[in-house]
Amino acid sequence: MTDITTEKARIGAPSAQPFINGFTEEGESLSPLNAAESKSPLAGEAVKRHSHGGGVGVPDSSRAGRLTSYKLADFKPLTGMEEDWRFTPLKRLRGLHTEVLNGAAPSVSVTAPDNVIVETVGRDDRRIGSAAIPEDRVSANAWENFTEATVITVPAEVQADGEVSVLLTGQGTAASAQHVVIVAEKFSKSVVVLDHQGTAVVSENIEILVEDGAQLTVISLQEWNDDAVHASSQQAKLGRDAKFKHIVVSLGGDLVRVTPSARFTAPGAEAELFGLYFADAGQHLEQRLFVDHAVANCKSNVLYKGALQGRNAHTVWVGDVLIRKEAEGTDTYEANRNLVLTDGARADSVPNLEIETGLIAGAGHASATGRFDDQHLFYLMARGIPEEVARRLVVRGFLNEIIQKIKVPAIEERLTAAVERELAATNH
Amino acid sequence: MSTLEIKDLHVSIDTEQGTKEILKGVSLTIRTGETHAIMGPNGSGKSTLASTIAGHPRYNVTSGTITLDGEDVLAMSVDERARAGMFLAMQYPVEVPGVSMTNFLRTAKTAIDGEAPKLRTWTKDVKAAMAQLRIDADFTQRNVNEGFSGGEKKRVEILQLELFKPKFAILDETDSGLDVDALKVVSEGVNRAHAEGNMGTLLITHYTRILRYIKPDFVHVFVDGQVVEEGGPELADRLEEEGYDRYATGAGAATIAAADAAAQA
């Protein structure tokens, strides 16, 4: 009843024993397939010609070495052996990685304050590609197939009064592509909520541009129906002194895979990446994030918390934080916590920290996956609270830490109610 | 008028080296209105007694009984014990992330009383009790014990004592780690709860300092899992002057050996 695995490391701490095969303190080891093929024409150095990442000479094991391209053809068909797909059940992707994504995309309905500009644009709009470039085949497939994009612009120095609410409603199970661009112009301040509902099989690219001095919060809610399949690449590019808060909440859907990233392009910026997920029997909820400290004096803080219940509930959290040689003065911390409520559930958690300079303010990572903390239970029960109620209080409390960070009362209430529903479904 | 009766209690814990007996036959009777101080050196089993009464799963009762007005306490779950009127002010209160104090206090009060407290009077009661214990009003919005200092945690334990109005309060080294001001505040809280006349108190402490503020009716000295001496408040004064050393001679051979070793050192 105590923690199953606990790992905590700070720079300079003695190296821990490897907990999981294939992992070292340096991070994930390459899958044998990638390693074997790294000299073939379609992988390794040849592939990196397309890359806007590390380029030639950066080892494949580095996050900087990952292939990025707008062209689907540059990505090999998936086998499931790829490092970034090895936890994902490809059979359940329902064609997002193999088919032409020409199904009806989820409908987009935006409610925004008057001073926010909402447009629907074609593929040739200049803002397409301003903040993101696909990092995997599913994302590239969506990029190649989307027909129109929604662009939300918070003009310079505008303080949006109330949140921008983007309701994305699934239109069925035909594999589809979606594209949204969010531009927070200089010194603007805003909150954008991406609210995913209904049934969809969709690969989505969300581009987020946070210009100099802008403050932007993006909340992505996945409250899909049980049969939805959703892959979402949410890439943010941060300007000087920008403040970006990103919150992922995944509750519904058969398979949800969110890959958020924050790239620092100028000093002084801050990124906070939070996440909450609650997987029920059979659900696969995956989150892989990337924080790219490419410049000096930026700050990042990552916290994802998940609860799992029921047979074959599966969650995956992979947190890649890269501190490049140039990124002196970086301050970063990432943590993932999972609470396993029943037998038969599985939580994978992989914090990766790559550090290429020692001249930083701080860097750390932590991951813990466990059952209920007996001490919490005892304390609450010693105050007369029955075990059942105490358990709920603890889970609610555990997840509340993320909900409290949202700061949009209506959404906080809605999520609290949603967590309540998830808890009610538990039969302890 | 209630009675908490502990009879010939033996308690052990499982350690890596095997089972270890900590309480070796403890008997104690506490009635409403009485304050009993349990004093003793570190490792004598004082805190084990407190945790066992509360029902902490780490402690195994191997023999003996605990009854509350004749009801078998040992047969009750942890929460049932609390609802039956027992309250343990913990030595190391646990931080419960994400659960706000407001929510926690109301949930516990509802569980103990069997009905939700009336919102208006309850909020007022909480505020008043907090003010008396000099706890900042914003603590209600904070998570249970999270980021509280040692002294703040102890004051919050006493806040609960005052709000939940138990029949028996067990204070497990509530005084440890408190400065004099905090000690006074905490003691006043205990005395207020006691003055209502419906509570018996078991005060577990290593030091005599808190007994200047909370006057015990009885003092029991614990050594090596047993009560080795009992008396009135004057016993506490004597302990203050002499310490626990003299009990070493009356205890087991190991203790005597240890005392001898200490004497030679």
Q: Looking at the complex, report in whole angstroms how far the Cα of residue A405 sits from the nearest Cα belonging to chain B.
A: 11
Partners of B143 on chain A (C-beta within 8 Å) are 397
Residue-level pLDDT at A342? 85
Q: Would you call A382 an interface residue with chain B, using a CB distance cutoff of 8 Å?
A: yes
Partners of B156 on chain A (C-beta within 8 Å) are none
Size of interface A-B (CB pairs under 8 A): 77
Distance CA B54, CA B47 (A): 11
Task: Give the mean model confidence (pLDDT) for residues A119-142.
Answer: 97
Residue A209 near residue A237, CB atoms below 8 Å: yes
Fill in the amino acid letter for B197. Answer: G
Residue A232 near residue A257, CB atoms below 8 Å: yes
Q: What is the DSSP letter of B237?
A: H
A184-204 residue pLDDT tens: 999 999 999 999 999 999 999
Which residues lie below 8 Å from residue B150, measured CB to CB, with a gap of 6+? Answer: B177, B178
Mean pLDDT of all residues belonging to chain B: 91
Q: Would you call B114 an interface residue with chain A, using a CB distance cutoff of 8 Å?
A: no
A312-331 residue pLDDT tens: 999 999 999 999 999 999 99
Which residues, listed in sequence order, are joined to residue B36 by a DSSP beta bridge? Answer: B202, B218
Contact B111 A399 (CB under 8 A): no
Q: What is the DSSP letter of B141?
A: G
pLDDT surpasses 50 at A210: yes
Encoded tokens for A420: 């309540």
* Chain A nearest-CA residue for B57: A378
CA distances from A56 to A2, A53, A84, B160 (A): 45, 9, 20, 64
Q: Would you call A381 an interface residue with chain B, using a CB distance cutoff of 8 Å?
A: yes
pLDDT band at A44 (very low <50, low <70, confident <90, very high): very low
Going by their DSSP bridges, the two strands A299-308 and B18-31 should be labelled as unpaired
Q: What is the pTM of this model?
A: 0.70
Contact B79 A390 (CB under 8 A): yes
Distance CA A72, CA A28 (A): 25
B194-207 residue pLDDT tens: 999 999 999 999 88
B236-255 residue pLDDT tens: 888 888 888 888 655 444 45
Q: Would you call B90 an interface residue with chain A, using a CB distance cutoff of 8 Å?
A: yes
B117-164 residue pLDDT tens: 999 999 999 999 999 999 999 999 898 998 899 999 999 999 999 999
Q: C-alpha dihedral over B216, B217, B223, B228, to 10 degrees?
A: 160
Residue B195 near residue B33, CB atoms below 8 Å: no
* Chain A nearest-CA residue for B54: A382
Q: Looking at the complex, report in whole angstroms how far the Cα of residue B260 sits from the nearest Cα belonging to chain A.
A: 39
Partners of A399 on chain B (C-beta within 8 Å) are 98
SS3 of residue A100 by DSSP: coil
Predicted ipTM beyond 0.95: no
Contact B108 A400 (CB under 8 A): no
Edge-to-edge strand ranges of the sheet holding A255-264: A117-122, A148-154, A172-184, A200-210, A229-238, A255-264, A284-293, A314-323, A346-355
CA B12 to chain centre: 19
A237-291 residue pLDDT tens: 999 999 999 999 999 999 999 999 999 999 999 999 999 999 999 999 999 999 9
Residue B227 near residue B27, CB atoms below 8 Å: yes
* Chain B nearest-CA residue for A399: B98
Edge-to-edge strand ranges of the sheet holding B200-205: B86-89, B168-172, B200-205, B35-39, B218-223, B226-231
Which residues, listed in sequence order, are joined to residue A117 by a DSSP beta bridge? Answer: A153
pLDDT surpasses 90 at B229: yes
Q: Which of A112, A98, A97, A199 is nearest to A150 (CA)?
A: A112
Which residues, listed in sequence order, are joined to residue A333 by a DSSP beta bridge? Answer: A301, A364
Q: Would you call B78 an interface residue with chain A, using a CB distance cutoff of 8 Å?
A: yes
Q: Looking at the complex, report in whole angstroms how far the Cα of residue B254 sits from the nearest Cα belonging to chain A.
A: 33
The DSSP element (H or E) to which B258 belongs, if any, is helix B253-264
Residue A110 near residue A165, CB atoms below 8 Å: yes
Distance CA A249, CA A254 (A): 14
Q: Would you call B142 an interface residue with chain A, using a CB distance cutoff of 8 Å?
A: no
Q: Looking at the complex, report in whole angstroms how far the Cα of residue A274 sits from the nearest Cα belonging to chain B.
A: 15
